[in-house]
Chains A and B, each alone.
Chain A
Amino acid sequence: MIDFQEEIKRFKPSLDVENIEDAIAKSDLTDMNDIMMQLVQDGIASRKNGEFL
């Protein structure tokens, strides 16, 4: 059974065209490549600090 009130509450306001600059600025463009790079860099840093030694 659908709870209409609950369904309606789940709706979020649409993005206004005037606010796209903020939306673009706040966009998270991180992809898997960035994550992998971060992981690699973190691994190198840890190795330098002797954590894996």
Chain B
Amino acid sequence: MDYSVTLNRIANVYYNLGLERAKLKDLSGAAELLKKSLHFSKYQTNARNLLGLIYYEMGETADALIQWVISMNLQPSNNRADYYLEEVQRKPGQLEIASQTVKKFNQALWQAQHEGEDLAILQLNRIIEEKPNFIKAHILLALLYMQKGDNVRAGRSLMSVLKVDRNNPKALILMDEVKKRTGRAEIEKNKLKNAFSHRQMEDDDVILPKIKAQATAGQVVIYLTVGLCLGLLSFWFLLLPSIRRNINVEANDQVIAYSQELSEKNASLTELQAQYDDLNSRYEDVSTRLNAFEQQNADFMGLYQKLTSIQTNYESGNLTQAVADYVTIDQSQVTEEPLLSLMNEINQYMQNEGYDELTSLGNSAWNAGNLQQAEQYFDMAIQIKPDDPEALYLKARILQTNGQTADANAIFDRIVGEHPESSYAQRAQSARGY
């Protein structure tokens, strides 16, 4: 029908006007226009959803929910109200908090209407603290403040309302009253008057330049001194602690670094000391063994040289030197080859041919009348064979001849005592004079 289309158009027009007002934060005006839109067409879903949003923005959660639920009933699909309802219900406890806030407001309203203004003010202050955009609570609080004559706080509360709802009729009326009471209205009036009034400059008008007072020399000195003092104080109290702190931190870091380095060096030194002790011990051990070896080698070489010297002298006929060297050898030291075999060889001819040669030479010297030479040969023979009675007897006879009777008798007694079976025993007895 034609009127149906017309009604929808009117509803759309009101919706558009409401939307414009809402964009300008004139929520009250927008709400009135949107309600008119819905009077013409209840199926104007956008108008109903926007009306719900405006209620929600003004702190009227229940009214907002009503509009969105109705909107969903009238247009179940493709409806923005579904999102709004989900957002409100998504946070757990949000509806419970809204319900509690409304209950507190109703309680405060009851107190305000039944001469409990002070309690109502306290309660309303708590409410707007929890819900700063609750328009109705702000306006009621402003009214109560104004009733008590506290126009400043009333003005603050009304300002909060006008921030959310720029053209709220009640807030505007009350704000005018507050301004009148505080004298603010007159000030604003004058300001407006000055702002929009102007007068053309006339020829007689003179613009006086602003004269800046010049400081005197004394003032300059004082200013400089004060500035210097302030600079020094700033440096002393603001910069110096920070510099000291930084220096201390750096010094501490360095000490820590040095301590760590020192510990590492100490550990390294201990390790090196241990290595040095070990090497020194090994060196001393090797050195001792080397010395022993060198000593042993020197002994060996010395003995070897002496044995070869005996052999050479003996073979060359220097029997005296050979025997002199031979009797000085400590044969217990000769334990290793080839010295041992060489020693055995020398022993062999010294005990036999050497000994015979010496006694023969001694006898020859004696026969030649050289008793001293003969005694030397017999001594050598005794050194080769200390227990042989022949050399002993000949030695004793030389002594007896030289008048050394006691020494000669001692040797004779020895021969008789040690070699009684020997032919020299009887001869010794004869020579002794038994």
Contacts from A to B (Cβ < 8 Å): 2, 4-5, 7-9, 11, 13-20, 23-24, 27, 29-34, 36
Contact = CB atoms under 8 A, between A and B. Distances in A.
Interface of B: 3-4, 7, 10-11, 38-43, 60-63, 65-66, 69-70, 74, 95, 98-99, 102-103, 105-106, 109, 112-113, 136, 140, 143-144, 146-147, 173-174, 177
Given A11-B113, A31-B40, A32-B10, 15 more contacts: A7-B143, A8-B143, A14-B136, A15-B63, A15-B66, A15-B102, A17-B61, A17-B65, A17-B102, A20-B62, A23-B66, A31-B38, A31-B39, A32-B40, A36-B7
Contact of A18 (B11, B70, B99): B99
Which residue of A7, A11, A17 has the most chain B CB atoms within 10 A of its CB atom? A17
A17 B68 CA distance: 13
B62 A15 contact: yes
Main secondary structure of the interface of B (DSSP, over half): helix
Contact of B105 (A7, A14, A27, A30): A14
A25 B173 CA distance: 35
B237 to A, nearest CB: 56
Nearest to A29: B42
Given A2-B177, A19-B62, A31-B41, A13 B106 contact: yes
B39 A20 contact: no
B70 A27 contact: yes
A12 B40 CA distance: 27
Nearest to B148: A4
A7 B136 CA distance: 12
Nearest to B44: A31
Contacts of B173: 2
Given A4-B143, A11-B140, A16-B99, A31 B7 contact: yes
B106 A4 contact: no
B39 A17 contact: no
Contacts of B140: 8, 11
B7 A33 contact: yes
A24 to B, nearest CB: 6
B66 A24 contact: yes
A52 to B, nearest CB: 20
A15 B106 CA distance: 9
B42 A4 contact: no
A11 B43 CA distance: 30
A34 B39 CA distance: 10
B376 to A, nearest CB: 152
Given A20-B69, A31-B39, A13 B109 contact: yes
Given A24-B66, A31-B41, A16 B102 contact: yes
